Amino acid sequence: MAALDILERNAATGEDLLRYITRQLDPDNGSESYALETKWFATYSIRHLQIEDLKFATESATKKPGDFARYVHSFAQNVRYLRDEEQFFLSLMARFDEGAAQYGFVTGDPANEEDPEFVAARNLAKALSDLAKLHEEARLVLPEITTRIGHWIDLSNSLSPHKWKPPFEPVETLWHATLYATDICKDGFSSERPTDRKGLGAFGTLNTISMTAEVDLALDAANMFHTAWHIAHGNIAALDILAAMREEGIDTTYDFRNHFGSQDIETLSDPADAMKMLRLYLYASERQSNPVFVNPDELLEALLAIDIDQIGLVACDVGLYDTTEYLHGEAEFRVTPSQVISVKRGEMEITGLPFATALIENTPSTLTM
């Protein structure tokens, strides 16, 4: 985002002067009131506005039918708008010239343009003013997005996900991609949600288990977990993923400064950055399916604690009922542990994403799991 880039380049030089000029416009408030003018505030407010998350979710929902329109709705509902004091502070930025004149910067004086501190302060005020406009536009648009997407979901689920399901037998074989295939096959699914693990779908908040009858979808998710394990353990770096994006011609899809700040992307070395790059790749790629993992920090933490052989598919015989929840957008049933009759490891062909092919056999191997 251009405004954040301007803040990055001008904060060190211009922030103090901007503080003094702003006080001319609101002399009754002390210095504590102006902690808002820092770059931290601007970045924090943008993060809570969730513009990037909304953009990702919207692109994903429109480009790839298997992804989840409900995430657009969820992000829009969780936006944190500016508080009154924040709105007031940002409104002062549009009056920068007035405050500068009161502080002693004569309008039209060429010396002002030669003063790097003044120029930086003016740039900061302009950037903050632009952010204020962005927040105002979002405040007007996001409720409509929430309503429209909500109506779209209601329309597409007009028969209700609790009532419409694909045809099924009383007992069906369903598939589940997991980081804990070995443990699940040994011990089954716990009747209570484990306290030392968190589910990787639906923000990890459900007490049910997500299972699909479409094995290809489960394979895609398991393969992504396999690749992500190598990212977590340092075998795949952000630059490896960036090279695949460049080869596919999608590296121009993003302004990487919006995601990695001012750091040169050629120097990215942290696994967390590689995980972020993986998400960007999956959202933009037309070649790869996107399983959509929404809690990458927790995924990274979980992957560091397991052996790669734990990752896989489990094939489950499951008792299904008319009351069993089915989400057609995700093509998955939500079942309780008590519905699971049997569990065994399924066969998984580890194909790897382009940047992971060197980490598997020369030809994809079929692992009996």
User: Are 230 and 196 within one domain?
Assistant: yes
Identify the domain containing residue 33 by its residue range: 2-156
Contacts of 160 (CB under 8 A, 6+ apart): none
User: If you average pLDDT over residues 253-279, what whole number do you get?
Assistant: 88
Which tens digits make up the pLDDT trace of 191-243? Answer: 776 655 555 544 344 578 989 998 888 988 898 898 999 999 999 999 999 99
Token match 């969820």: residue?
74
Which tens digits make up the pLDDT trace of 32-64? Answer: 455 445 555 566 555 555 556 656 666 665 555
* % pLDDT > 90, the chain: 21
- In degrees, to the nearest 5, what angle opens at C-alpha 16 toward C-alphas 14 and 17? 70
3-state SS assignment for residue 166: coil
User: Are 188 and 127 within one domain?
Assistant: no
Using the 8-state DSSP alphabet, how is residue 201 labeled? S
| Boundary of a domain, candidates 130, 156, 182 | 156
3-state SS assignment for residue 341: strand
User: Are 267 and 346 within one domain?
Assistant: yes
User: Are 151 and 175 within one domain?
Assistant: no
In a domain, 124, yes or no: yes
In a domain, 164, yes or no: no
User: Are 55 and 133 within one domain?
Assistant: yes
Number of domains observed in the structure of the chain: 2
Higher pLDDT among residues 186 and 367, named by residue: 186
- Are the beta carbons of 168 and 298 closer than 8 angstroms? no
User: Are 177 and 147 within one domain?
Assistant: no
User: Are 232 and 282 within one domain?
Assistant: yes
User: Are 148 and 225 within one domain?
Assistant: no
In a domain, 163, yes or no: no
User: Are 344 and 245 within one domain?
Assistant: yes
Query: Quick one: pLDDT band at residue 360, thresholds 50, 70, 90?
Result: low
- Residue 158 pLDDT > 60: no
Burial (0-12, 13-18, 19+ Cβ within 10 Å), 278: buried
Least confident among 121-125, 129-133, 302-306, 356-360: 356-360
Strand 332-335 to 340-345 pairing: unpaired
User: Are 325 and 275 within one domain?
Assistant: yes
- Are the beta carbons of 182 and 321 closer than 8 angstroms? no
Task: Say whether pTM exceeds 0.75.
Answer: no
Average confidence score pLDDT of the chain: 77
User: Are 94 and 195 within one domain?
Assistant: no
In a domain, 34, yes or no: yes
DSSP string, 20-71: HHHHHH-TTS-GGGGGGGSHHHHHHHHHHHTHHHHHHHHHHHHH-TTS-HHH
Burial (0-12, 13-18, 19+ Cβ within 10 Å), 273: buried
Which tens digits make up the pLDDT trace of 89-142? Answer: 788 888 889 999 988 888 778 888 889 999 988 988 888 888 788 777 777 776
Residue 179 tokens read as 């980081």
User: Are 31 and 124 within one domain?
Assistant: yes
